Amino acid sequence: MILLGIDETIIIVEYNELWPDLYEQEENKLYKMFGDMAIEIQHFGRTSVPGMMAKPIIDILVGVK
């Protein structure tokens, strides 16, 4: 057994139909913040997969120049 020192409860919830909209709101803010430096912004992780249970955290990856 490997102990990683994580002592917090991890909560997995049913897919939320609002996740794509929440991502899009954040994506718009990030494009405004990064401007021309942003090459691409992506929603990844389990919340990006329709119907999949996930931790209720929107994972966002920002590629910059």
> What pTM was computed for the model?
0.83
Q: Which string of b and e fits 3-29 if b means at least 16 CB within 10 Å?
A: eeeeeeeeeeeeeeeebeeebeeebee
Mean pLDDT for the chain overall: 93
Question: Residue 38, class by beta-carbon neighbours within 10 Å (0-12 exposed, 13-18 middle, 19+ buried)?
Answer: middle
pLDDT tens, position by position, 38-49: 999 999 999 999
Q: List, in order, residues 6 or more apart from 43 with CB less than 8 Å away.
A: 20, 23, 27, 58, 59, 60
